[in-house]
Structure 1
Amino acid sequence: MHQHTPFHDFEEFETAPSGGGRAKWVVGLVVFVLVLVAAAAVGYGLGRGTWTIPSSVSGHVPAALAGWLPHGGSDAAAPANLKDYTFELVEHQAKQGEAVLTVRLQQKPAGKPVPDAIVFARRLDMAPAGMPTMTTELEPQPATEPGLYRFKTNLTMAGDWQLSLAAKVQGETGTVQNQVALKVVP
């Protein structure tokens, strides 16, 4: 005769065949962890630029996004150092009043202009003259040639001004930041 205890239902559950449920769960967990580690490794490698997107895949990506993906081939040996990029004013002096400032973004070692960068931060102030709160608006204008970036502004006061720019260069990780001096004359 079998004695009925509060653990009777539990004993039946433990002795019932599991159908490999526990083994399936362990195998599933191991597969999940391996996939997670592999995805993290791929993301890390792509972010550092040590791995590239195959051309068979990047050929199907829209052109606006393709420039931001790492490319294979001889040009992708090593990403350029962000300090290798610089903004330079085309004219270091401007007349007071309405003006269009033109800057050139170039890669210093190669000496070549850098087209299609996204200039997302810009500021023009009189910090060199001890007046960092004296600012003026900068309105982006169409470029006249690759590697040139133009900004319309109103230079309200003669003196020393500072143009601060930040840009994303396609194919590079990080932000190019630079400040250039401008002399405004009456």
Structure 2
Amino acid sequence: MTENPFARAVSAALLGVALSAPPLPARADIQDYAFELTQQEMKQGEAIVAVRLVDKRSGKPVPDAVIFAKRLDMAPDDMETMTTRIEQLPSTEPGVYRFKTKLTMAGNWRLSLGAKVQGEIGTVEDKLVFQAVK
């Protein structure tokens, strides 16, 4: 049986391409992401609440997430029906998401967020508690 030198060259070339191709990036699990408050305490009244979305594996901020669910209430003080409006503001730095609100009472407030991370399947959901002070 005769071997075709062209077939051998093509096989070697394909093997070389396969071995030199960069590996596909490892996909993160949606549980690898979390929101963190930038401040644990804010003044009662008009306030800007800022959170950072981080990749827990690297500690790096995650920019360009799409926040589609947000709620601010006083559930930590057993007043879940005490809510206030919350409006998303433009980001001032990558991975930091800001919200304008009015903290109508001093006490503990819960910020609930839902977001999609670019390139990941699933939803990042977090509930963060901070305190409003007089």
**SS, match of residue 109 in structure 2:** strand
Larger relative contact order (Cα-Cα within 8 Å, sequence gap ≥ 6): 2
Where does residue 172 of structure 1 map in the other structure?
120
1:104 paired with 2:46, answer no
Residue 74 of structure 1: how far off its partner (Å): 3.4
User: Which of 67, 74, 86 matches 2:23?
Assistant: 74
Residue 179 of structure 1: how far off its partner (Å): 0.6
Q: Segments of 4+ in structure 1 off by > 6 A? A: none
CA radius of gyration, larger in: 1
User: Which of 139, 159, 163 matches 2:87?
Assistant: 139
The change in CA–CA distance for 1:120 and 1:171 in structure 2 (over 3 A counts) is same
Where does residue 121 of structure 1 map in the other structure?
69
Where does residue 8 of structure 2 map in the other structure?
none
Residue 109 of structure 1: how far off its partner (Å): 1.0
Gaps spanning 5+ residues in structure 2: where? 1-20
1:88 paired with 2:3, answer no
Residue 73 of structure 1: how far off its partner (Å): 4.8
Q: How big is each residue's C-alpha offset from its partner over 1:62-91, in whole Å with a ceiling of 9 and x where there is no partner?
A: xxxxxxxxxx953523x2111111001101
Cα distance in 1 for partners of 2:82, 2:70 equals: 14
Where does residue 22 of structure 1 map in the other structure?
none
Gaps spanning 5+ residues in structure 1: where? 1-71
| Counterpart residue identity of residue 25, structure 2 | A
**SS, match of residue 113 in structure 1:** coil
* Larger relative strand fraction: 2
**SS, match of residue 146 in structure 1:** coil
C-alpha RMSD over aligned residues: 1.3
Fraction of identical pairs, as percent: 58
The change in CA–CA distance for 1:75 and 1:117 in structure 2 (over 3 A counts) is farther
Aligned residues: 114
* Larger relative helix fraction: 1
Cα distance in 1 for partners of 2:24, 2:91 equals: 26
User: Which of 139, 149, 152 matches 2:97?
Assistant: 149
